[in-house]
Amino acid sequence: MKKLIPILIVALAATAFVLRDRWLPAPAGQANYLGYVEGETVLIAAPVAGRIAARPAEKGKKVKQGDVVFSLDTVTASAAVRQAEAAVSAAKSQLDDLLTGKRPPELAVIGAQRAQAEAGLVLARKELSRSQALARTGTATPASLDQAQAAVAQYEAQIAQFDASEAVARLAGRDALIAAARAAVEQAGAGVDQARQRLADLSPAALKDALVENTYFDVGEWVAAGQPVVSLLSPDNVTLRFFVPETALAGAIPGRTIRFKCDGCGEGLSATITRVASEPEFTPPVVYSQEARSKLVFLAEAKPDAASQALRPGLPIEVEPLQ
């Protein structure tokens, strides 16, 4: 038994030497700063009230940039797009009508009326020739001669009128009407763009690769406008929050690079300080004694220099002391 005592003493001394870092307090300013990973989730909400028709995003699954995370019922929005497209077609048809003038059948009516007037003019001229011959022999009255001349003039005026009507019919609409028609086409086109955008908004997509952190509604449920349906967490959208002691506060400058580690995160991790709290987390009463000052800590935030799937929200981290 006496021989075992020295062996036990040696074993206890070796154990104490190996575990000295856990038992003995770390030198001032040399202990790692403790903190955790905080995730900044993105809430994808419904743009309008409606029934959820599909929700491809599942809690705990990953989505790629551009993937649709959920869709609302699109019956009403699709009908609005078709209605807007029909309004564009109607506006364009009205503009084309103003630009092309009368239709061929309408021009044919004017042509037929002119031909009828030309036939009457031929007959009136013959009647005028006979009246003039009779007037030279003294057998025609001045009144009959005047009547024949008036008939010729009347038919010539009608032909001139039909020529002018045909020329006008071939012209496009007035500039003011054409400008108004063009504006109507543009307005209708804007209505189509707006209707299509409203339809696309009913199926929001992920802006970047992310993890589906949570889902709040299932397919078939009614969701109010602005109500979040899915929350996404991107690997590059996490923040490290750790506490810097008062003695090392001067080195915690935004923009400075820090080294940190966490369980299962790998080696050589770094981050950049983005913010340091202006007030301490703990303030001793009355006097900042040497012992009390060691208890003062300031919250600091840092962005990892490289995105990592291992940096999950809530994961504890240790930051190397700032020199």
pLDDT tens by residue, 151-200: 878 877 887 876 776 666 665 556 777 788 888 888 888 999 999 999 99
pLDDT band at 101 (very low <50, low <70, confident <90, very high): low
pLDDT at 23 over 50: no
DSSP string, 229-283: EEEEE-TTSEEEEEEEEGGGGGG--TT-EEEEE-TTS-SSEEEEEEEE-SS-S--
Q: Output the pTM of the full model.
A: 0.57
From CA 22, how far away is CA 19, in angstroms rounded? 6
pLDDT at 20 over 80: no
Helix, strand, coil percentages (3-state) for the chain, rounded to 5, are 45, 20, 35
Identify the burial level of 7 via C-beta atoms within 10 angstroms of its C-beta, where 0-12 means exposed, 13-18 middle and 19 or more buried: exposed
pLDDT at 131 over 80: no
pLDDT band at 236 (very low <50, low <70, confident <90, very high): confident
Which pLDDT score is estimated for 150? 81
30-34, 53-57, 168-172, 281-285: which is most confident: 53-57
| pLDDT tens-digit series, residues 35-78 | 899 988 899 999 999 999 999 999 989 999 999 999 999 999 99
| Nearest CA-CA partner of 85 in 183, 185, 182 | 185
Q: Quick check: 307 and 266 in contact, CB under 8 A?
A: no
- Decide: helix, strand or coil at residue 303: strand
Contacts of 37 (CB under 8 A, 6+ apart): 238, 239, 240, 241, 262, 311, 312, 313, 314, 315, 317
- C-alpha 113: how far from chain center: 60
Which pLDDT score is estimated for 229? 95
Q: Which residue has the higher pLDDT, 96 or 245?
A: 245
| pLDDT tens-digit series, residues 190-229 | 999 999 999 999 999 999 899 999 999 999 999 999 999 9
pLDDT at 120 over 70: yes
Which pLDDT score is estimated for 264? 85
Which pLDDT score is estimated for 116? 82
Which pLDDT score is estimated for 217? 95
